[in-house]
Amino acid sequence: MCLAIPGKILSSEITNGVRVGRVQFGGITREACLDFVPEATVGDYVIVHVGFAISVVDRQEAERSYELLQSMGVLDGELKSDLEPS
C-alpha cells in the first residue's frame, strides 16, 4: 500500500534543474521533489507521495491526516508527530 503523507517544508533549493525540498514528516526528514507545487514555500505543509509533493495543505489538514494515520496504526514505529502548536 502506498500512502501520501503530509510534511512541512524546511528548505528548498534547485538541484540539477529540479526544485527539491527537505520535508519533515514528524521526526523524520526526507528530500522531496517540489516541482508539482510551485506555490509551496518554506514553512508550508505538502502532501508527499513516493518522493513528490503533490499538493499544498494547511496545518490543520496536516494535523488531521496525522491523527487519522496514527489512529489506524499506520505510523507505528515510522513517524512521530511533532505537529505541536508553535
- State residue 1's pLDDT score: 53
Q: Identify the CATH number of the domain defined by range 5-71.
A: 2.30.30.140
Helix (H, G, I), strand (E, B) or coil at 9: strand
pLDDT tens digits, one per residue of 73-85: 776 655 544 444 4
pLDDT tens digits, one per residue of 16-70: 999 999 999 877 899 999 999 999 999 999 999 999 999 999 999 998 988 887 7
- State residue 49's pLDDT score: 94
- State residue 71's pLDDT score: 86
Which among 13, 8, 84 is positioned nearest to 46, based on CA atoms? 8
CA–CA gap between residue 22 and residue 86 (Å, rounded):
20
Burial (CB count within 10 angstroms: exposed 0-12, middle 13-18, buried 19+), residue 54: middle
pLDDT interval class at 4 (50, 70, 90) = confident
Q: Which three cell numbers stand for residue 53?
A: 509533493
